[in-house]
A = this chain, B = another copy of it.
Protein backbone atom coordinates (compact mmCIF):
# COMPACT_ATOMS: atom_id res chain seq x y z
CA UNK A 1 0.00 0.00 0.00
CA UNK A 2 1.23 3.46 -0.95
CA UNK A 3 0.47 6.73 0.81
CA UNK A 4 0.29 10.22 -0.60
CA UNK A 5 -0.94 13.60 0.58
CA UNK A 6 -3.22 15.65 -1.64
CA UNK A 7 -3.18 19.40 -1.07
CA UNK A 8 -5.76 21.61 -2.77
CA UNK A 9 -6.12 25.37 -2.63
CA UNK A 10 -8.75 26.92 -4.89
CA UNK A 11 -11.70 29.29 -5.18
CA UNK A 12 -14.62 28.08 -3.09
CA UNK A 13 -17.50 26.47 -4.97
CA UNK A 14 -20.42 24.18 -4.29
CA UNK A 15 -19.84 20.46 -4.10
CA UNK A 16 -16.04 20.55 -4.00
CA UNK A 17 -15.71 17.91 -1.27
CA UNK A 18 -18.11 15.55 -3.00
CA UNK A 19 -16.35 15.93 -6.34
CA UNK A 20 -12.81 15.63 -5.04
CA UNK A 21 -13.45 12.68 -2.74
CA UNK A 22 -15.52 11.16 -5.54
CA UNK A 23 -12.48 11.10 -7.86
CA UNK A 24 -10.39 9.53 -5.10
CA UNK A 25 -13.07 6.92 -4.42
CA UNK A 26 -13.38 6.13 -8.12
CA UNK A 27 -9.61 5.63 -8.19
CA UNK A 28 -9.88 2.98 -5.48
CA UNK A 29 -8.12 5.17 -2.95
CA UNK A 30 -8.94 5.16 0.72
CA UNK A 31 -9.11 8.43 2.65
CA UNK A 32 -7.06 8.03 5.81
CA UNK A 33 -7.52 11.55 7.02
CA UNK A 34 -9.28 14.55 5.58
CA UNK A 35 -9.32 18.22 6.54
CA UNK A 36 -10.96 21.17 4.89
CA UNK A 37 -11.12 24.87 5.56
CA UNK A 38 -13.07 27.60 3.84
CA UNK A 39 -11.91 31.18 4.22
CA UNK A 40 -15.26 32.85 3.82
CA UNK A 41 -13.76 36.33 3.79
CA UNK A 42 -11.74 35.47 0.71
CA UNK A 43 -13.97 32.78 -0.76
CA UNK A 44 -11.12 30.29 -0.78
CA UNK A 45 -11.21 26.54 -0.22
CA UNK A 46 -8.37 24.49 1.28
CA UNK A 47 -8.19 20.74 1.61
CA UNK A 48 -5.62 18.23 2.78
CA UNK A 49 -6.28 14.55 2.25
CA UNK A 50 -4.16 11.56 3.16
CA UNK A 51 -4.76 8.85 0.61
CA UNK A 52 -3.85 5.20 0.67
CA UNK A 53 -4.08 2.73 -2.17
CA UNK A 54 -2.36 -0.12 -3.88
CA UNK A 55 -1.66 2.07 -6.86
CA UNK A 56 -1.95 5.76 -7.65
CA UNK A 57 -2.99 6.51 -11.20
CA UNK A 58 -0.45 8.84 -12.89
CA UNK A 59 -3.37 10.95 -14.02
CA UNK A 60 -4.88 11.41 -10.55
CA UNK A 61 -3.73 15.00 -10.09
CA UNK A 62 -4.95 15.89 -13.58
CA UNK A 63 -8.27 14.16 -13.00
CA UNK A 64 -8.80 16.22 -9.88
CA UNK A 65 -7.59 19.40 -11.53
CA UNK A 66 -10.22 18.88 -14.19
CA UNK A 67 -13.10 19.14 -11.73
CA UNK A 68 -11.70 22.14 -9.83
CA UNK A 69 -12.29 25.83 -10.55
CA UNK A 70 -9.72 27.60 -12.72
CA UNK A 71 -6.39 28.60 -11.28
CA UNK A 72 -6.58 25.95 -8.55
CA UNK A 73 -3.35 24.84 -6.96
CA UNK A 74 -2.98 21.13 -6.44
CA UNK A 75 -0.12 19.09 -5.04
CA UNK A 76 0.17 15.35 -4.65
CA UNK A 77 3.22 14.49 -2.58
CA UNK A 78 4.64 11.30 -1.18
CA UNK A 79 4.38 10.73 2.53
CA UNK A 80 7.68 10.00 4.12
CA UNK A 81 11.15 11.27 4.78
CA UNK A 82 12.00 14.79 3.60
CA UNK A 83 15.47 16.12 2.75
CA UNK A 84 16.53 19.30 4.47
CA UNK A 85 19.51 21.62 4.51
CA UNK A 86 20.16 23.56 7.70
CA UNK A 87 21.83 26.97 7.84
CA UNK A 88 23.43 28.16 11.07
CA UNK A 89 25.67 30.81 12.56
CA UNK A 90 26.98 30.18 16.08
CA UNK A 91 24.18 29.01 18.35
CA UNK A 92 23.83 25.28 18.99
CA UNK A 93 20.39 24.90 20.55
CA UNK A 94 18.12 24.76 17.48
CA UNK A 95 20.60 22.78 15.43
CA UNK A 96 21.26 20.40 18.31
CA UNK A 97 17.57 19.74 18.81
CA UNK A 98 17.05 18.90 15.14
CA UNK A 99 20.15 16.69 15.08
CA UNK A 100 18.92 14.68 18.07
CA UNK A 101 15.38 14.45 16.74
CA UNK A 102 16.63 13.29 13.39
CA UNK A 103 19.02 10.82 15.03
CA UNK A 104 16.31 9.34 17.24
CA UNK A 105 13.71 9.26 14.49
CA UNK A 106 11.46 11.82 16.17
CA UNK A 107 11.64 13.93 12.98
CA UNK A 108 11.33 11.96 9.76
CA UNK A 109 14.03 13.91 7.90
CA UNK A 110 17.34 13.39 6.22
CA UNK A 111 19.71 16.22 7.01
CA UNK A 112 21.56 16.48 3.72
CA UNK A 113 23.95 19.20 4.86
CA UNK A 114 24.58 21.97 7.37
CA UNK A 115 25.96 25.29 6.14
CA UNK A 116 27.53 27.77 8.59
CA UNK A 117 28.85 31.27 8.10
CA UNK A 118 30.97 30.54 11.18
CA UNK A 119 32.88 27.39 11.94
CA UNK A 120 31.98 26.95 15.58
CA UNK A 121 29.22 24.39 15.04
CA UNK A 122 31.25 22.13 12.76
CA UNK A 123 32.41 19.80 15.57
CA UNK A 124 28.83 19.21 16.63
CA UNK A 125 27.71 18.42 13.10
CA UNK A 126 30.71 16.18 12.53
CA UNK A 127 29.62 13.98 15.42
CA UNK A 128 26.56 13.02 13.41
CA UNK A 129 28.43 12.32 10.17
CA UNK A 130 26.61 15.04 8.30
CA UNK A 131 28.54 17.25 5.87
CA UNK A 132 29.24 20.71 7.27
CA UNK A 133 30.08 23.52 4.86
CA UNK A 134 31.84 26.53 6.27
CA UNK A 135 31.04 29.51 4.06
CA UNK A 136 32.37 32.64 5.68
CA UNK A 137 30.91 35.94 4.64
CA UNK A 138 34.26 37.61 5.30
CA UNK A 139 35.63 39.49 2.28
CA UNK A 140 32.57 38.63 0.21
CA UNK A 141 29.69 40.86 -0.75
CA UNK A 142 26.24 39.56 0.02
CA UNK A 143 25.64 38.32 -3.48
CA UNK A 144 28.92 36.41 -3.64
CA UNK A 145 28.28 34.85 -0.26
CA UNK A 146 24.80 33.74 -1.17
CA UNK A 147 25.98 32.34 -4.51
CA UNK A 148 28.34 30.02 -2.72
CA UNK A 149 25.58 28.89 -0.38
CA UNK A 150 23.06 28.44 -3.18
CA UNK A 151 25.51 26.26 -5.04
CA UNK A 152 25.88 23.94 -2.07
CA UNK A 153 22.15 23.83 -1.50
CA UNK A 154 21.53 23.01 -5.15
CA UNK A 155 23.87 20.02 -4.90
CA UNK A 156 21.76 18.62 -2.10
CA UNK A 157 18.35 19.34 -3.66
CA UNK A 158 16.50 19.73 -0.36
CA UNK A 159 12.74 19.75 0.07
CA UNK A 160 13.10 22.44 2.72
CA UNK A 161 15.79 24.78 4.09
CA UNK A 162 15.85 25.47 7.82
CA UNK A 163 17.44 28.63 9.19
CA UNK A 164 18.37 27.41 12.66
CA UNK A 165 19.52 30.74 14.04
CA UNK A 166 21.22 31.85 10.82
CA UNK A 167 21.87 35.45 11.72
CA UNK A 168 22.10 37.05 8.29
CA UNK A 169 19.31 38.50 6.18
CA UNK A 170 18.73 36.70 2.88
CA UNK A 171 18.25 38.71 -0.31
CA UNK A 172 15.07 38.50 -2.37
CA UNK A 173 17.12 36.74 -5.05
CA UNK A 174 17.98 33.96 -2.65
CA UNK A 175 14.48 33.69 -1.24
CA UNK A 176 12.83 33.61 -4.66
CA UNK A 177 14.60 30.38 -5.49
CA UNK A 178 12.92 28.54 -2.63
CA UNK A 179 9.44 30.01 -2.24
CA UNK A 180 7.61 28.66 0.83
CA UNK A 181 10.52 26.30 1.39
CA UNK A 182 12.71 28.31 3.77
CA UNK A 183 11.74 28.13 7.44
CA UNK A 184 13.16 30.64 9.89
CA UNK A 185 12.97 30.93 13.66
CA UNK A 186 12.64 34.46 14.97
CA UNK A 187 13.44 35.00 18.61
CA UNK A 188 10.36 36.97 19.52
CA UNK A 189 6.63 36.68 19.50
CA UNK A 190 6.16 38.43 16.16
CA UNK A 191 5.11 41.06 15.35
CA UNK A 192 6.42 42.26 18.70
CA UNK A 193 10.09 43.13 18.63
CA UNK A 194 10.90 42.85 14.96
CA UNK A 195 14.48 43.51 14.02
CA UNK A 196 17.62 43.17 16.06
CA UNK A 197 18.04 42.25 19.73
CA UNK A 198 14.45 41.29 20.49
CA UNK A 199 15.33 40.06 23.98
CA UNK A 200 16.91 43.37 24.83
CA UNK A 201 13.82 45.13 23.50
CA UNK A 202 11.62 42.79 25.55
CA UNK A 203 13.62 43.50 28.68
CA UNK A 204 13.38 47.24 28.15
CA UNK A 205 9.63 47.04 27.62
CA UNK A 206 9.18 44.92 30.76
CA UNK A 207 6.99 42.27 29.13
CA UNK A 208 5.73 39.38 31.26
CA UNK A 209 5.80 36.82 28.44
CA UNK A 210 8.36 36.15 25.72
CA UNK A 211 8.04 33.97 22.68
CA UNK A 212 9.37 32.70 19.41
CA UNK A 213 7.96 32.55 15.91
CA UNK A 214 8.69 30.09 13.11
CA UNK A 215 7.79 31.46 9.70
CA UNK A 216 8.45 31.01 6.03
CA UNK A 217 10.99 33.47 4.72
CA UNK A 218 9.84 36.08 2.25
CA UNK A 219 11.40 39.27 0.93
CA UNK A 220 10.24 41.24 3.94
CA UNK A 221 12.35 40.57 6.98
CA UNK A 222 10.34 39.10 9.88
CA UNK A 223 7.17 39.45 7.83
CA UNK A 224 6.73 36.02 6.27
CA UNK A 225 3.78 33.67 6.84
CA UNK A 226 3.76 32.43 10.43
CA UNK A 227 3.76 28.66 10.91
CA UNK A 228 4.00 28.28 14.68
CA UNK A 229 4.42 30.45 17.77
CA UNK A 230 4.85 29.74 21.41
CA UNK A 231 5.57 31.68 24.59
CA UNK A 232 6.82 31.35 28.14
CA UNK A 233 6.09 33.51 31.17
CA UNK A 234 8.91 35.66 32.53
CA UNK A 235 9.13 38.28 35.25
CA UNK A 236 11.00 41.33 36.47
CA UNK A 237 13.85 39.24 37.82
CA UNK A 238 14.99 38.21 34.32
CA UNK A 239 17.88 40.17 32.87
CA UNK A 240 18.10 40.52 29.09
CA UNK A 241 20.56 37.62 29.19
CA UNK A 242 18.12 35.50 31.21
CA UNK A 243 15.42 36.23 28.65
CA UNK A 244 17.74 35.12 25.87
CA UNK A 245 18.71 31.95 27.74
CA UNK A 246 15.13 30.95 28.51
CA UNK A 247 14.02 32.03 25.08
CA UNK A 248 16.31 29.46 23.50
CA UNK A 249 14.15 26.65 24.78
CA UNK A 250 11.09 28.17 23.13
CA UNK A 251 13.00 28.85 19.94
CA UNK A 252 14.14 25.28 19.51
CA UNK A 253 10.76 23.89 20.48
CA UNK A 254 8.85 26.16 18.09
CA UNK A 255 11.25 25.52 15.22
CA UNK A 256 11.06 21.75 15.65
CA UNK A 257 7.27 21.84 15.80
CA UNK A 258 7.09 24.02 12.70
CA UNK A 259 9.45 21.69 10.87
CA UNK A 260 7.30 18.73 11.90
CA UNK A 261 4.22 20.42 10.48
CA UNK A 262 5.96 21.37 7.25
CA UNK A 263 7.48 17.96 6.49
CA UNK A 264 4.14 16.41 7.35
CA UNK A 265 2.63 18.60 4.59
CA UNK A 266 0.22 20.09 7.10
CA UNK A 267 0.92 23.68 6.06
CA UNK A 268 -0.54 25.60 3.11
CA UNK A 269 0.73 29.11 2.42
CA UNK A 270 -1.70 31.61 0.98
CA UNK A 271 -1.03 35.31 0.76
CA UNK A 272 1.01 36.13 3.81
CA UNK A 273 -0.64 33.55 6.02
CA UNK A 274 -0.73 29.83 6.55
CA UNK A 275 -3.44 27.25 6.92
CA UNK A 276 -2.07 24.65 9.34
CA UNK A 277 -4.13 21.47 9.37
Of B37, B192, B207, B272, the residue contacting A206 (CB under 8 A) is B272
Stretch in A55-63, A155-163, A231-239 with 4+ CB within 8 Å of B:
A231-239
Once the chains bind, are A21 and B14 in contact (CB under 8 Å)?
no
Grouping DSSP codes into helix (H, G, I), strand (E, B) and loop, the A interface class, with mixed when no group exceeds half, is mixed
Are B253 and A226 in contact, CB atoms less than 8 angstroms apart? no
Question: In the complex the two chains form, what is the Cα distance from A22 to B236 in whole Å?
Answer: 26
Contacts of A231 in B (CB 8 A): 209, 231
Q: How far apart are A105's CB and chain B's nearest CB, in angstroms? A: 8
Q: Could you say how many copies of this chain the assembly holds?
A: 4
The reply to whether A25 and B15 contact each other, CB–CB distance below 8 Å, is yes
| Per-residue interface assignment for chain A, residues 2 to 19, with 1 indicating a CB less than 8 Å from any chain B CB and 0 otherwise | 000000000000110110
Q: Is A142 an interface residue (CB 8 A)?
A: no
* A14 vs B29: C-alpha distance when bound (angstroms): 9
Asked whether any CB of chain B lies closer than 8 Å to the CB of A170, the reply is: no
Q: Is A143 an interface residue (CB 8 A)?
A: no
Query: A74-113: which have CB < 8 Å to B?
Result: 91-93, 96-97, 99-101, 103-104, 106
**Are the C-beta atoms of B206 and A229 separated by less than 8 Å?**
no
Interface presence of A36 (CB below 8 A): yes
Are the CB atoms of A25 and B32 closer together than 8 Å?
Answer: no
CB pair A273 B206 closer than 8 Å: yes
Q: Are A190 and B189 in contact (CB under 8 A)?
A: no
Query: Interface code A126-148, partner B: CB below 8 Å = 1, 0 otherwise?
Result: 01100000000000000000000
Whether, in the assembled complex, A264 has its beta carbon less than 8 Å from a beta carbon of chain B, the answer is: no
Is there an interface contact between B190 and A191, defined as CB atoms closer than 8 Å?
Answer: no
Number of interface residues of A (CB under 8 A): 66
When the two chains form their complex, are residues A209 and B208 in contact, meaning their CB atoms are under 8 A apart? no
CB-CB < 8 A to A14: which residues of B?
25, 30
Name the interface residues of A188-226: CB closer than 8 Å to any CB of B: 189-193, 205-209, 211, 225-226
The 10 closest A-B pairs by CB, nearest first: A206-B273, A96-B100, A92-B104, A192-B192, A127-B127, A18-B21, A208-B229, A15-B25, A236-B275, A17-B21
Ordered by A's residue number, 26 sampled pairs between the chains whose C-beta atoms are within 8 Å are A14-B30, A15-B25, A17-B17, A17-B21, A17-B34, A18-B18, A18-B21, A18-B22, A18-B25, A34-B36, A37-B236, A96-B101, A96-B104, A100-B100, A106-B248, A189-B189, A189-B209, A190-B205, A190-B207, A191-B207, A192-B192, A205-B226, A205-B272, A249-B253, A249-B256, A253-B253
